Amino acid sequence: MPFTSASVMSPEGSSSSLGPADHGSLLDTCERALGRARGFQRPILASWSRPLDVGDPVSVWSRARRSTQRSFLWQSPWDGGSLVAIGSARALRGRGEHRVRAVRDGWRTLVKDLVTGGVAATGLPVGEGPLAIGGFSFRAEDAYETGRLPDALMWVPALQIRSAVPAPGAEGQPVPAELRLNAVLLHDSDPEQVADNLVHLARLCLTPDPDADTERRKRRDRPGRTCHSTELPGAEAWKGLVRGATDRIRAGEFEKVVLAREVRVTASAPFDLPAAVERMRGANPGTTVFAVDHEEYTFLGATPEYLVQVGDRTVHALGLAGTTPRGATPEQDEACERELVGSAKIQHEHEVVVSMLRDALADSCTDVTAETPPQVVKLANVQHLSTKVRGRLAEDSTAGVLDLVEALHPTPALGGHPRAQALSWLADNEGLDRSWYAGVVGWADRSGQGQFAVAIRSALLDGPTASLYAGCGLVADSDPEAEYAETCAKLRPMMSALGIE
């Protein structure tokens, strides 16, 4: 396709143009990558960037995701960063027990001879250059058996936009960001065609479409859809599983296990995913909002929990375990909090998770510390005990964020303790395809920095069908009725986001 200047505009109307100079710089980057691909006889990643002003990342994602079968949205309170990624320059996959390692090795190989061009933006949160984005299932065999989402899928987006959230009082205003266009060049690639295709993608993603925005608003104003819900397993059967698990715990087979359940919803019309994302972030401040589009599936959520963050060789992990409901009044809420903090059962459940995180970080970090006492995190429907664990990568450590994902996932907060025994019991008894629920979602850069969230308070959607998940950590004296009520409270935010009554 012949190149013409592409006007790149934010949703609020401010514009910048990918003009002939940008195209020339992008083409030069692609040509240098082609030369390296021919010289080394292997695929070479080309990555070109330029500063950009953008508006609301969710608005950009809502519009841009229509142009591809693979997209990614990420908004995090941890560092105030946001990421919109569209299309795929190269997929990185893994399967089985060593799936994280396979993705890590593929990523390291791909960026080893990276060719860059353009101008990088400054003042952004941690992370640099092209990113690998995506996630990993809870158990290796889940996605392999069902085929809904892969065991492990990370990819380099064709287009990525990284930005910081607006400063307080500046919401709705354009914010500094970086546009990055990525492509993998082979020995027989046409660099001019590659550059033209990337500019065309930028135009599709960043130029407002008033007609489409108007149609989206009309859809949201239409009468609500009807929904039919099925619990998997049924309530009484699930409570029976709780009793079975606590019997095994008292028998000494394992100390803790996290039992999940699914609510499968079939609606009369497809769910409005951009509207769901907007509801999630409005109703769940302080959570990481994410959405992963992969072919016909979308996995989205608003999670209060992160697995690991790595930036400037500092490592952060979070132990989030122990839950109680929110109270209907301030007095009731305080009473619930006192019960959470004062419960020996909950404190023990929480310490199991924190101890595992400390031990796991000690393998590659020095100065590992855990804050004390645990803090109380209050969300819309529940409150949790939370402990931050911090370390610094040892001078001789080559570990990056994906190495730490492999070491930590799944934590006792998602699977149980000891890990092998708890996961074995779940595989034999839970009877549930968790897919990426209780897995991890996030991103990694070429230097080993990155962020991965624990994918709870989430749902997997396929048109008019949604699978919503929630789980509970069980110990010896867990009560089936109380645990079932806890899962209902944890399901409520996602049901509200999807407009399920």
Coil vs helix vs strand at 423: helix
Of residues 294, 298, 301, 348, the one with CA closest to residue 321? 348
DSSP string, 351-405: HHHHHHHHHHHHTTEEEEEE-SSPEEEE-SSEEEEEEEEEEEE-TT----HHHHH
Whether cis (ω within 30° of 0) applies to the bond prior to 174 is no
Coil vs helix vs strand at 185: strand
Helix (H) or strand (E) run with residue 287 in it: none
The whole-angstrom distance between residue 155's C-alpha and the CA centroid of its chain comes to 13
Do 315 and 361 form a contact (C-beta atoms < 8 A)?
yes
Residue 239 falls in the annotated catalytic set: no
Question: Which one is catalytic: 305, 351, 430, 483?
Answer: 305
**CA-CA distance, 202 to 181, in Å (whole number)?**
8
Token pair listed for 328: 């209907």
Q: How many CB atoms lie within 10 A of CB 272?
A: 18
Residue 171 falls in the annotated catalytic set: no
**CA-CA distance, 205 to 39, in Å (whole number)?**
34
Work out the end-to-end distance of the chain between its first and last CA atoms, rounded to an integer number of angstroms. Answer: 48
**CA-CA distance, 197 to 6, in Å (whole number)?**
12
Which DSSP symbol is given to 65? G
The angle, 0 to 180 degrees and rounded to 10, between the axes of the packed helices 330-342 and 344-362 is 60
Do 309 and 337 form a contact (C-beta atoms < 8 A)?
no
Do 50 and 44 form a contact (C-beta atoms < 8 A)?
no
3-state helix, strand, coil in the chain (%, to 5): 35, 35, 30
Helix (H) or strand (E) run with residue 297 in it: strand 297-303
Q: C-alpha angle with apex 222: 217 to 228, nearest 5 degrees?
A: 120
Amino acid in the structure at residue 195: A
Token pair listed for 373: 């006492």
Token pair listed for 472: 């509970």
Question: Which one is catalytic: 256, 262, 278, 490?
Answer: 256
Sign of the Cα pseudo-torsion (121, 125, 126, 131, in order): negative
CA atoms within 13 A on the CB side of 30: 25
Of residues 182, 184, 179, 172, the one with CA closest to residue 207? 179
Alpha-carbon dihedral angle through residues 183, 75, 166, 213, given to the nearest 10 degrees: 80
Q: Would you name the residues annotated as active-site residues? A: 256, 305
